[in-house]
Amino acid sequence: SAVISQKPSRDICQRGTSLTIQCQVDSQVTMMFWYRQQPGQSLTLIATANQGSEATYESGFVIDKFPISRPNLTFSTLTVSNMSPEDSSIYLCSVCEGITEAFFGQGTRLTVV
């Protein structure tokens, strides 16, 4: 199983600022995923990040708002840009290979004030 370290675990940010969330995996993985979990809601996929190519964004998410980097096979970052209170959520990174289960980081709880 993959071990995923995600940081920061939580942050309180001022509106209009940006926050970069880091995700480190203890093994090389092809695909990494970023999810958002709004308060009391389920998980929604933001984007899929493959090493060496542009991230693929789901409907409703755009690169200008959620830029993603994937510099190598063990690391990715998600930036939440120009934040507003509506961005207050838990953000989770995830990896899976083949048909195995997906593994998740502990999540970043973001509060925008």
Nearer to another protein, 36 or 87 (CB): 36
- Give the count of alpha carbons within 13 A of 81, CB side only: 9
Q: How far is the CB of 95 from another protein (least distance, A)?
A: 9
4 with 93: CB under 8 angstroms? yes
Site of interaction with another protein (CB under 8 A) = 1, 6, 31, 33, 41-43, 45, 48, 92, 94, 96-99, 101-107, 109
Parallel, antiparallel, or unpaired: how do β-strands 10-13 and 108-112 relate?
parallel
CB closer to another protein, 8 vs 16: 8
Query: Six-digit token pair at 27?
Result: 């093994």
Q: Shortest distance, CB of residue 16 to another protein, whole angstroms? A: 26
